[in-house]
Structure 1
Amino acid sequence: MKLHADNPHLLAITAQGEGWVSVNGERHTGSLVLSASRGLRTWPCQRFEELGAAHFEELLDTPDAPPELVVFGSGRRLRFVAPALLRALIERGIGVETMDTAAACRTYNILAGEGRRVTAALLLEG
């Protein structure tokens, strides 16, 4: 699926498919974190079952203000993590929206295009 960014200067998800996403035209096949303040980085988890609290705590590591919202793409299908894994985000008042990765890609682009402090944490299972 091709996606289009409203603001060409943003890091945007430009396409998405089974086990991959393209950010500004560059294809990625491993899980990743994307935000305007921190840019693009790999996210060291390849399966939903591997997720731990540390994976979500690292989303707070930003040079600027932390995100106001984290969009978590849980893979091919919608799966919710245990609330205890999200504790670091919740305690700081950061919203977490969980959806399948395709929906998370679309949602990230919309919110980032609006200038929101959003971070996308995308689980890309091979």
Structure 2
Amino acid sequence: MKLQPDKSNNLTINAYGQGWIEVNGQKFDHSLIVSSLPGAAPNAWEVSRFEELKPENFETLALSGAELVIFGSGPRLRFPQPGWLRPLIERGIGLETMDTPAACRTYNILASEGRKVVVALLQEA
């Protein structure tokens, strides 16, 4: 019987608050892409407001190698325009949309299960 928890090399979202997200002990105050894929590092997502989103932002996510993308839409739930999602749909990549706090929690659960997941977290300035 195994008594210790499994170790994971995945990035973990440790905490979040208004205007910041902490990943593996490092605080970020901007929009962020976090991936459970091997060798991944947190990357800045060049979006600071929901109204700035465009198809190119989702193209970046489609090229990540993930099987699922979680979109954290900021402090409240907002859905991306269907046209923005074409790159994901064409590659057969699923997308879930939720507010940023829920996206952080969901990412951690799926990453701990070994899923190939990427979360794009919108931190509005």
Q: Which residue of 2 aligns with 1:3?
A: none
Counterpart position of 1:30: 30
Partner of 2:3: none
Q: Which amino acid aligns with 2:9?
A: H
Aligned to 1:58, the other structure's residue is in SS state helix
**Superposition RMSD on alpha carbons, in Å?**
1.3
Q: Deviations over 1:53-86 (max 9, x none)?
A: 0001011334xxx111000000000000101001
After TM superposition, list the pairs within 5 Å mapping 1:1-126 onto structure 2.
7-37=7-37, 38-62=40-64, 66-126=65-125
SS of residue paired to 1:84 = helix
Measured in 2, the distance between the counterparts of 1:7 and 1:100 equals: 28
User: Would the aligned equivalents of 1:48 and 1:123 in 2 still touch at CA under 8 Å?
Assistant: yes
Letter of the aligned partner of 1:26 in structure 2? Q
In structure 2, distance between residues paired with 1:16 and 1:125: 13
User: Percent of pairs identical after alignment?
Assistant: 56
Deviation at 1:9, TM superposition (A): 2.4
Q: Which has the higher Rg, Structure 1 or Structure 2?
A: 2
Give the CA deviation at 1:40: 1.2
Gap regions ≥5 residues in structure 2: 1-5
| Count of paired positions | 118
Deviations 1:58-117 (A, max 9, x none): 11334xxx1110000000000001010011001111100000000000000000000000
Alignment gaps of 5+ in structure 1: 1-5
Q: Tell me the CA shift for residue 8 of structure 1.
A: 4.8
| Alpha-carbon distance in 1 for matches of 2:7, 2:48 | 30
Per the normalisation by structure 2, the TM-score is: 0.89
2:82 partner amino acid: P
